[in-house]
Structure 1
C-alpha cells in the first residue's frame, strides 16, 4: 500500500475535533479520560481498527482464557521441550530459582535447572528445561515454544495470521510440526479466547530474521493447509504476504510494532490539529516527517530503522 493510501484510509475514518476529542463512524470519542463523552484513546482506536482490524468491545471476558481451547492447543502442539544451555542462577526465593540468560530473567523450579556439579547456588551456570508452551501468556494468548533454542537477542520478524477460530488448532499443529522438524527456533502465540476472534493478529509467529530464507518453503506449505480458513484482511501497517498473512519486524521495546505505529500516527494527527493543518496531503507530509525523524518509513512502516530487507523472498504464496 502506498503512503498516500495508508494515511488516507485513517484520515477518511477519523476526524480530530479538538485536542482531546475525535469522531469515528459518526460517534465522538474522548481522547482524555477526564473529558466528557465516550472514552477511547485515539492510539487504541487506530490500533484496533487498522492493525488488529477489529474494534474489540472492552469487557471483563476479553482476555479470559478458555480452558477447553487451551487443552486443544496443547494437544496440537507437537513440541517436546528442550534443555537450553547458558543459564545462570541469580537469586532464590521460596524454593524457586531466579535464572538469567542474555538479559532474560525468569523463575524456574529446581527440577528445571541442571548443572554438572548438581548444585543450585547463586552464580551457578547450567541448563534450563524449556517447556513446549506457556498456556497463560499475558494479553490473552497461548504461546508455543520451539524445541530449538530461541535467542531473544537476535532481531526477529513477526508473521501475522488472521486465522479463524475453527482452524486455530490446525495452524498451531502445522507450525510446530514443520518448524520443529527443521529445527527452526521460533515463538508462536495464538488467542486463547474464542470471543477474541477475528483479528488480523489472531496468531503471531516470531522467527529470527536470518532464518527467513530457511522457512519460506515451510510457510508456503503451512499457508496451503490453512488458506481456506484465513480471513483476508491484514494489518494496514504490515507487509501483506497473502490474504490473511502480514509481516513486520519486531520492535525491541515493550510497546510492540502495531501499537508504536498507531501511537506515532495518533500523536501526529493531534499535533496537526493544534497547528491548524487540515488538508490531507499536508497532514500526510507532517506524519511522514515524524516517521523519518525516528528513522522509520511511512511507506514501509513494517521495517525498523536502517533495515534493508524488503522480504520479497516471501511473496511466493500460492
Structure 2
C-alpha cells in the first residue's frame, strides 16, 4: 500500500481524483527487498535483455560511500540502473554485498564511473568475487543476466549453479561419479546451453566487451 498526499504527489490535473480513478504516482527512489536496500536511477527503464550485473564485495562503510557517489554519478550521465546493497551490516562478507544492474550497451560509460569511484574507495573492497563472474578489479566482477532462466527472476549465480547441479545429478543417476566423469557431465551441460566454460559470465554467442578497470597501483586487471 502506498500512502500519498494529493498536493504533494499528484499532478495538478489529477488532484481532484476520486476513488476508482487512475492516477500517476512517482515511485519511491528506493526500498528494501530480500535483505537488500535498493536504489533506483532517476531514468525509468523497463528491464529486458540484454542487461548486466556488476557485483561488489565491500564493507558496510563501502556500501554507504558507493551508494552515495555511484548513484549520483550514474544519474548525472543519465544511465538507468538499480543498485542493491545489503541493509544488515552483519550480513556483509558475502561476495555479492552489492549488485548493480545496468543495460549492456551502457557498460563502457559505467566503467568510466566505476574507475573513479573504485579508486576513491578501494580500501573498502575485499578481493574475492562470485564464482563464474568476470573480475573487473579485486572485489568487483561482472556477469550478463542469463537469457535462459530456470525460474522467474533467477539470479546469475543460481542459474549457473543449477547447470552444475543438473550435471552432477545426471552423473549420479548414471553411476558415473568419478571426478573425471563429473567434470565431463558438467562440460556437456554447459555446452548444451551454449555457454563457454572459459567465459561462463557471458550468454551464448555474446561478445566479451567488458574491459576491466585499471587498479590504483597502475596494474591492469586481466
Q: TM-score, normalised by structure 2?
A: 0.82
Correspondence for 1:189: 84
1:122 Cα deviation from its structure 2 partner: 7.1
1:130 Cα deviation from its structure 2 partner: 2.7
Change (3 A) 1:154 1:263: closer
Give runs of ≥4 in structure 1 deviating > 3 Å.
107-124, 314-318
1:117 Cα deviation from its structure 2 partner: 6.4
Take 1:305 and 1:121, find their aligned partners in 2: how far apart are those partners? 49
Q: Which residue of the other structure, out of 135, 154, 158, is the alignment partner of 1:255?
A: 154
1:230 Cα deviation from its structure 2 partner: 0.6
Q: Which residue of the other structure, out of 56, 60, 69, is the alignment partner of 1:165?
A: 60
Q: TM-score, normalised by structure 1?
A: 0.59
Q: Answer with 285-294 or 183-192: which moved more.
A: 285-294
Q: Answer with 277-286 or 189-198: which moved more.
A: 277-286
Correspondence for 2:37: 142
Take 1:290 and 1:228, find their aligned partners in 2: how far apart are those partners? 39
Correspondence for 1:86: none
Tell me if the contact between 2:56 and 2:139 (Cα under 8 Å) persists in the aligned partners.
Answer: yes
Q: Which residue of the other structure, out of 121, 125, 131, is the alignment partner of 2:28?
A: 131
Q: Aligned residue pairs: how many?
A: 209
5+ residue gaps, structure 2: 217-222
Take 1:171 and 1:305, find their aligned partners in 2: how far apart are those partners? 32
Q: SS of the counterpart of 2:26?
A: strand
Take 1:108 and 1:251, find their aligned partners in 2: how far apart are those partners? 36
1:187 Cα deviation from its structure 2 partner: 0.2
Correspondence for 2:137: 242
1:288 Cα deviation from its structure 2 partner: 1.5
Q: SS of the counterpart of 1:314?
A: coil
Take 1:297 and 1:262, find their aligned partners in 2: how far apart are those partners? 15
Tell me if the contact between 1:115 and 1:127 (Cα under 8 Å) persists in the aligned partners.
Answer: no
Q: SS of the counterpart of 2:62?
A: helix
Correspondence for 1:300: 199
Q: SS of the counterpart of 2:113?
A: helix
Take 1:122 and 1:260, find their aligned partners in 2: how far apart are those partners? 41
Tell me if the contact between 2:49 and 2:145 (Cα under 8 Å) persists in the aligned partners.
Answer: no
Question: 2:212 aligned with 1:314, yes or no?
Answer: yes
Take 1:113 and 1:300, find their aligned partners in 2: how far apart are those partners? 48
Change (3 A) 1:296 1:129: same
1:305 Cα deviation from its structure 2 partner: 2.9
The Cα RMSD (Å) is 2.5
Take 1:187 and 1:316, find their aligned partners in 2: how far apart are those partners? 24
Q: SS of the counterpart of 1:130?
A: coil
Correspondence for 1:88: none
Q: SS of the counterpart of 2:105?
A: helix
1:229 Cα deviation from its structure 2 partner: 1.1
1:247 Cα deviation from its structure 2 partner: 0.4
Q: Which one has the bigger strand percentage?
A: 1
1:260 Cα deviation from its structure 2 partner: 1.1
Tell me if the contact between 1:165 and 1:198 (Cα under 8 Å) persists in the aligned partners.
Answer: no
